[in-house]
Copies of this chain bind each other. A is one copy, B any other.
């Protein structure tokens, strides 16, 4: 059920991380090792910050491993901050409007996981979206609804807090509908300057999430590696599952944790606690 990765650091050709890395995200689209399924072949998305206003989003229903346009873009676009997502659909159609990342203004959003009983909750949750944002929902995934709820609940002022309120709202709505609440997964968010990531499951083990170590540590481990030598102090990668090269440099994010990554190599962690909330079910 999906894999994603995010880069924040010096500007790089995107292919460095998508195609020139062992067991990178494109390889994970075909051979994921830690996902719920090995195959993530139901579409691809790439969002990046660079030239032009706001982030660009490329989305395709082709599997990542066979999409020639993804390969072209990756080989010819440089960016200091990008997110890539490969999708394993669970119920909703394979169409571009269901591919991540989702975008609003400067914001990009990706998700690996699912909202339990989403079909039963979808109407309630869509009603809780700010009516001004409602027309922007074009697809049928749970993620797009989660994103628009987070925007409704203050994503642009307080990303982690908004996600805590969103998850709290979804869990409360499920309970009020008599369902066992279940929000499962990892989230990635950016505004083009910072990167936030969350690992959380209402119950059970959440999907995996890792961040790369700080660059000094990596250089200490691999003093002679040419790729490592090019890393700058700014560079961080957040991933659903580690790339294969450079074992030892990956730091697993604990369940129930939110991460903030900023330029300068800053990575901060804090607990992720869904905000107690009343759900969306009208009395």
Interfacial residues, chain A to chain B (CB-CB below 8 A): 13, 15, 30, 38-39, 41-42, 48, 50-53, 55-63, 66, 68-69, 72-73, 75-78, 89, 92-97, 119-120, 122-123, 126-127, 131, 134-135, 137-140
Contacts and interface: CB of A to CB of B under 8 A. Distances in A.
Contacts of A69: 58-60, 69
Contacts of A61: 62
Given A93-B138, A119-B135, A41 B38 contact: no
Copies of this chain: 4
Contact of A97 (B41, B120, B131, B140): B140
Contact of A138 (B77, B96, B140): B140
Contacts of A63: 41-42, 63
B56 A94 contact: no
Given A38-B38, A57-B72, A61-B62, 19 more contacts: A30-B39, A39-B41, A42-B66, A51-B77, A51-B78, A52-B75, A53-B75, A59-B69, A66-B94, A68-B96, A77-B77, A93-B97, A95-B96, A95-B97, A97-B140, A122-B134, A123-B134, A137-B140, A138-B140
A72 B95 contact: no
A58 B135 CA distance: 27
A122 B94 contact: no
A147 B186 CA distance: 36
A283 to B, nearest CB: 13
A42 to B, nearest CB: 6
Contacts of A55: 76
A56 B30 contact: no
Contact of A122 (B59, B135, B139): B135
A226 to B, nearest CB: 18
A53 B16 CA distance: 13
A125 to B, nearest CB: 11
